Amino acid sequence: MRTGMWVDPGVTTLGEYLTEWLAAMESNVVDTTFRAYEQSMRNWVVPRLGSVRLAEVSPMHLRSLQTELLRDGRVDGKGGLAPRSVASCRRVLSQALKDAVRWGLLIRNPMDAVDPPRVVDAEMVTWSDTQARAFLDAVAGDRLYAMWVLFLTTGVRRGRGGRTSMGRRRPRSGVDGDRPQPGLGRAR
């Protein structure tokens, strides 16, 4: 493995493998992506399948995981996750298992035999011109007025604009090959 630690798939559990996989991924993805990977594995996969040996993870384990997450996967115990959240978790776990195949730890990726949950795109609700103008009138004296105008007039995503404009975290510039990626920070 990239971390230099040998993992025996016949003895190593999925939880132990995911710990090693996340360590390998930390320097390969941006900070926010890594945190999302780590959170989905820690909150949803490891508690349910972490004790299963890596070599014994089957499509039935993974299908049951998806079903359970849809039914009662919320961390607060108040119901299931949205299909989009389950699909996101599935993509991360599938990548981890794909890497296990690539690294010679598994013969095949058991996720390949599992259909993703059906995700229905909800219709986006937007404000009318009148509602947008009323909002801007209401926040006219706000110190973030320029940001609100930017959000309403450009369609910038809430997560991207909010992180930079509201001062919660200032992203570092990243580089992808020779192409600069403004605003995308790399993990340490």
Whole-number pLDDT of residue 2: 45
Whole-number pLDDT of residue 168: 44
Tokens 């990626």 found at: 181
User: Does the predicted model carry a pTM greater than 0.95?
Assistant: no
- The fold of the 14-113 domain, in CATH, is DNA polymerase; domain 1 (1.10.150)
Whole-number pLDDT of residue 158: 62
Closest by alpha carbon to 115, among 94, 135, 130?
Answer: 94
Per-residue pLDDT of the chain (188 residues; tens, 9 = 90+): 444 455 676 789 999 999 999 999 999 999 999 999 999 999 999 999 999 999 999 999 999 999 999 999 888 889 999 999 999 999 999 999 999 999 999 999 999 999 999 888 777 788 888 998 999 999 999 999 998 898 888 877 666 555 444 444 444 444 444 544 444 444 44
Domain boundaries, given as residue ranges, for the chain: 14-113, 129-170
Whole-number pLDDT of residue 145: 92
Three-state SS for the chain is: CCCCCCCCCCCCEHHHHHHHHHHHHCCCCEHHHHHHHHHHHHHHHHHHHCCCEHHHCCHHHHHHHHHHHHHHCCCCCCCCCCHHHHHHHHHHHHHHHHHHHHCCCCCCCHHHHCCCCCCCCCCCCCCCHHHHHHHHHHCCCCCCHHHHHHHHHHCCCHHHHHHHHCCCCCCCCEEECCEEECCCCECC
Residues 70/81, Cβ–Cβ less than 8 Å = yes
Angle at CA 118, nearest 5°, toward 41 and 19? 10
